[in-house]
């Protein structure tokens, strides 16, 4: 009889852990990620409203579209999706190449502000994708241990690892920029 009670308690505990992680915590982390992006978008809007950059400037509109796409599809930005997209992308085309060209014709202080905002977006994506994924954390721990062993043994092994938040965000930025601009188009596409 005690075995049945213990098994039921274990099953109930596992269900509660699953419910809390996949339904409550996961929704919270997506909402917190979106809130961070909303704050970045609001800061970008305030910067344009101050007259530092025109609202119709391509550098501004591309960055705003990027933010809107990431906000809209934040629930789909996961570590697994990143790995699949990174593996399926044959060449690492930078989706923001045209944006960087538009950025070069702006004054240096405006360039710095927009680059900072883009960097903040990349760091937010990297934190969201890596820090909240148990699989990513396990792989990161393995890479740290392997890196320490390789360093300790002074072996020269070349392993391609994501080096910065830009590597993570560039893969997901391409998908965000390719998404439809309006919510209605998203519903039609679904």
Separation between Cα atoms, residue 54 and residue 43, nearest integer Å: 14
Q: What is the pLDDT of residues 35-86, one digit of tens each?
A: 999 999 999 999 999 999 999 999 999 999 999 999 999 988 888 888 887 7
Mean pLDDT for all residues in the chain: 81
Residue 59: predicted pLDDT: 92
More confident site: 56 or 165:
56
Cβ-contact 175, 85 below 8 angstroms: yes
Residue 91: predicted pLDDT: 59
- Is the pTM higher than 0.85? The answer reads no
Separation between Cα atoms, residue 128 and residue 30, nearest integer Å: 8
Residue 57: predicted pLDDT: 93
Apex 164 CA angle, 160 and 167, nearest 5: 70
pLDDT class for 27, splitting at 50, 70, 90? confident
Confidence check: pLDDT of 182 > 80 = no
Structure tokens at 131: 């820090």
More confident site: 33 or 135:
33
Separation between Cα atoms, residue 79 and residue 126, nearest integer Å: 9
Residue 17: predicted pLDDT: 84
Residue 134: predicted pLDDT: 80
Owner of token pair 């039921």: 8
Cα 171 to Cα 118, 139, 164, 167, 168: the distances in Å are 14, 19, 12, 7, 6
Interacting residues of 186 by C-beta distance below 8 A, sequence separation 6+: 72, 179, 180
Residue 153: predicted pLDDT: 67
Cα-Cα end-to-end distance for the chain: 50
Confidence check: pLDDT of 155 > 60 = no
Q: What is the pLDDT of residues 110-136, one digit of tens each?
A: 999 999 999 999 999 988 888 878 888
Residue 99: predicted pLDDT: 87
Cβ-contact 25, 120 below 8 angstroms: no
């Amino acid at each position: 009889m005690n075995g049945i009670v213990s098994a039921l308690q274990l099953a109930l505990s596992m269900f509660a852990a699953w419910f809390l992680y996949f339904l409550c915590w996961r929704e919270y982390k997506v909402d917190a990620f979106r809130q961070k992006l909303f704050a970045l978008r609001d800061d970008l809007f305030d910067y344009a409203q101050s007259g530092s950059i025109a609202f119709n400037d391509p550098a501004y509109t591309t960055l705003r579209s990027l933010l809107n796409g990431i906000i809209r599809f934040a629930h789909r930005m996961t570590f697994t999706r990143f790995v699949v997209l990174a593996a399926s992308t044959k060449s690492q085309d930078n989706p923001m190449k045209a944006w960087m060209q538009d950025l070069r014709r702006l004054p240096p202080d405006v360039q710095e502000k927009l680059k900072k905002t883009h960097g903040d977006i990349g760091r937010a994506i990297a934190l969201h994708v890596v820090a909240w994924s148990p699989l990513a954390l396990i792989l990161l721990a393995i890479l740290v241990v392997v890196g320490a062993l390789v360093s300790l043994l002074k072996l020269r092994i070349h392993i391609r690892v994501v080096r910065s938040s830009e590597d993570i965000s560039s893969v997901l930025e391409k998908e965000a920029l390719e998404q439809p601009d309006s919510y209605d188009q998203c519903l039609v596409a679904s």
